[in-house]
């Protein structure tokens, strides 16, 4: 099974909005509303920021939002802040009863 | 508050078996969640290794399935990972975690432990 496809890097200026895509197939992202997104700082464990495509756990800023269209899920961060600079990963359940992660996207705040 | 803590050797020789344990605090592993392992090679992305569900049902990454065993010890409220025949490619930070539906919606992670495979 191949990893979900994410851009290696994205960047934006403070206050702007950015979107990170997560492309899978009809065997994972396209079939289930089970995409989660995680934020990871260097040397730290990932943190859940979006579950089930668009649900924000308690305590997560409403600047983070998620959506899905077909085989592609997206994470949007609005009002970009310096503290958002981190790595972001998506993951999804699959029809093979397994789980996939995306390759990760490095967000740079200019 | 749910807390997970990995433990095990930080150095394993090639061809040997990597063994890690995850102790869970503040929550029983005998509940309807999936408990699993995820690894991250230095400078690279996350890779799901496998998961175990209450009752002992296991789920493994097909690329690692022949070498992986995940087990639980309910009396100690912990679960374990065994990865056999390791090579340098298995060098990574290993995380234990609690999630849903095999291993998504991972709200709780251990801090991670670096395991280096080297002679």
Q: Quote the CA–CA distance of B55 and A66 in Å, as a whole number.
A: 33
For residue A7, list its beta bridge partners.
Answer: none
Chain segment A46-95, per-residue pLDDT in tens: 999 999 999 999 999 999 999 999 999 999 999 999 999 999 999 999 99
Mean pLDDT of B112-118: 98
Q: Which residue of A has its CA nearest to B38?
A: A101
Chain segment B28-72, per-residue pLDDT in tens: 999 889 999 999 999 999 999 999 998 889 999 999 999 999 999
For residue A106, pLDDT beyond 90: yes
Q: Which residue of A has its CA nearest to B114?
A: A43
DSSP string, B60-85: E-TTTGGGEEEEEETTTTEEEEEE-S
Predicted local distance difference test score (pLDDT) of residue B55: 82
Nearest CB to B62 within list A1, A45, A46: A1
By a Cβ cutoff of 8 Å, what residues of chain A touch chain B? Answer: 1, 3, 34-36, 38, 45-48, 51-52, 57, 89, 91-93, 96-104
Contacts of B60 in chain A (CB under 8 A): 98
List the single best residue of B2, B68, B104, B106 to mutate versus A (max A Cβ within 10 A).
B104
**Token pair recorded at residue B72:** 């639980």
Predicted local distance difference test score (pLDDT) of residue A2: 84
Predicted local distance difference test score (pLDDT) of residue A1: 74
Contacts of B103 in chain A (CB under 8 A): 91, 99
């Amino acid at each position: 099974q191949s990893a979900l496809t994410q851009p290696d890097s994205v960047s934006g200026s403070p206050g702007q909005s950015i979107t990170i895509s997560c492309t899978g197939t009809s065997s994972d992202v396209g079939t289930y509303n089970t995409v989660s997104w995680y934020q990871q700082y260097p040397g730290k464990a990932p943190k859940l920021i979006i579950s089930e495509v668009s649900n924000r756990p308690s305590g997560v800023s409403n600047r983070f939002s998620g959506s899905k269209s077909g085989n592609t899920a997206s994470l949007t961060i609005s009002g970009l802040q310096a503290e958002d600079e981190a790595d972001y990963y998506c993951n999804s359940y699959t029809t093979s009863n397994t789980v996939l992660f995306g390759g990760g996207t490095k967000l740079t705040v200019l | 508050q749910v807390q997970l803590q990995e433990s095990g050797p930080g150095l394993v020789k090639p061809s040997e078996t990597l063994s890690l344990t995850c102790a869970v605090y503040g929550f029983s592993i005998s509940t309807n969640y999936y408990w699993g392992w995820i690894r991250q090679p230095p400078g690279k992305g996350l890779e799901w290794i496998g998961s175990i569900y209450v009752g002992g049902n296991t789920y493994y990454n097909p690329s690692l399935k022949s070498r992986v065993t995940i087990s639980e010890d309910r009396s100690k409220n912990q679960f374990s990972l065994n990865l056999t025949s390791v090579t340098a490619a298995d060098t990574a930070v290993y995380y234990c975690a609690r999630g849903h539906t095999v291993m998504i919606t991972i709200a709780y992670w251990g801090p991670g432990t670096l395991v280096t495979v080297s002679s």
